[in-house]
Amino acid sequence: MDVRTLCLGVLSLGDASGYEIKKRLEDTFSHFYDASFGSIYPALTRLQKDGLVHCETEAQANRPDKKVYNLTVDGRLKLVAQFNNMPGRDRVRSEFLVAMLFSDLLPAGRVGEMIDRRIDEHRKFVAQLESREVRSTPAQQFVAGYGRALYEAATNYLQENRYLVESEALLAQVDNDRVEVAD
Amino acid sequence: MDVRTLCLGVLSLGDASGYEIKKRLEDTFSHFYDASFGSIYPALTRLQKDGLVHCETEAQANRPDKKVYNLTVDGRLKLVAQFNNMPGRDRVRSEFLVAMLFSDLLPAGRVGEMIDRRIDEHRKFVAQLESREVRSTPAQQFVAGYGRALYEAATNYLQENRYLVESEALLAQVDNDRVEVAD
DNA sequence: CACATATATATCGAATTGGCATATCGGAAT
DNA sequence: ATTCCGATATGCCAATTCGATATATATGTG
């Protein structure tokens, strides 16, 4: 799924400028998709060229003109057509889990610090999701609830299993004393 | 975290060629990181140029020479230095959740099909993780267990809340009859 | 009073993806 | 039998995306 399709999706929920599309991605989509200005603006230009969105320029004092985009009929058809394909695999990139995998290379105490911070971030994120869940469609509730369920599961897992990586520094020393077991 | 650092990490677990690095990412890292050949091979070339890895070429019949890389002392120091920075936010891209968000645009039955397939994929993935968990370090168990916990939570959530998006087609029609409530 | 944040668009180099090319072998399906 | 696919192995290339930066101003914060 490229940024052009993503823009069509956001615009199907209401007209918006490039800047507003970015904000809505950060609000509603933040736990499962994102895109930078560097991809959104070119995407909108090309969507307009292809006749999939229409643009109305609002002049503004002391700021660049605001370009408000809305879907054309072709754009709406294109969006619907995208969902004929089955969705591809989720792609996750977690620097945190890479760090955990190499936790034995980390300075003492650092792993605990990272986990504490991560738990705190998850808590804030769940709170933020819950505050938005009240007035929304069932589909939006479903997606927000999915995020909440996963962040809560992650938090519980971290609390219950952190000993596996936090005691790693000690275990590593023990392991060095019995190299004969190594594969 | 760029692909160069990722390659240093994989190589710290044992010498490997570009091809083998890719395979190990698909094995051990698949649920939280990945990289394509198009990024791994240039990364290795540059790591070698910067003296962070050393390369030994093995001639092979009927195949391109196999280039086996191993970490230099500088490479190992560089890897450790990377973990001085706190890990950045997880980045998730889920075409599935985008599809769910726009489930009211999907043909009838399609949402259920997507969810069934997703649950099946999760089950297979958990089974695959569990089969690898037996003989591994605590850090590897921690990372694999994290994946397992999240996929299990996702599966449960999908089973318990799928009605929110599967009945959407019907609800949408009801909603069309009471437009005055709309915002 | 300096600094960060929000509004708003846009460009640009660097990084990354995903498909293709190349070449061979073994196994499975037709 | 033969065709087709996947594994092995490196690498190129066009298209896509990221992240930083530029530009300009108003408002809130320490």
- Greater model confidence, A168 or A156: A156
Pick the closest to residue A115 from B139, B116, B132, B109 (CA basis). Answer: B139
| Predicted confidence band of residue A78 (pLDDT cuts 50, 70, 90) | very high
Residues comprising chain A, all counted: 183
10 Å Cβ neighbour count for B168?
A: 23
Residue B181 has pLDDT above 80, yes or no: no
Task: Please check whether residue A5 is in contact with residue A25, taking contact to mean a CB–CB distance below 8 angstroms.
Answer: no
- Greater model confidence, B131 or A39: A39
Does A102 reach chain B within 8 Å, measured CB to CB?
Answer: yes
Contacts of A98 in chain B (CB under 8 A): 1, 6, 9, 29, 32-33, 87
Q: Which string of DSSP letters, residue by residue, matches A76-108?
A: HHHHHHHTTSPP---EEE-HHHHHHHTGGGSPT
The protein footprint on chain D, as nucleotides within 7 A of a CB, is: 8-14, 16-21, 23-26
Please give, rounded to a whole number of angstroms, the shortest distance from the CA of A62 to a CA of chain B.
31
For position A136, what pLDDT does the model report? 83
Nearest 5°: the CA angle B105, A37, A151 is 60
pTM of this prediction? 0.89
Does B96 reach chain A within 8 Å, measured CB to CB?
Answer: yes
Does B156 reach chain A within 8 Å, measured CB to CB?
Answer: yes
Taking an 8 Å cut-off on Cβ atoms, the answer to whether A86 and B117 are in contact is: yes
Residue of chain B whose Cα is closest to the Cα of A146: B157
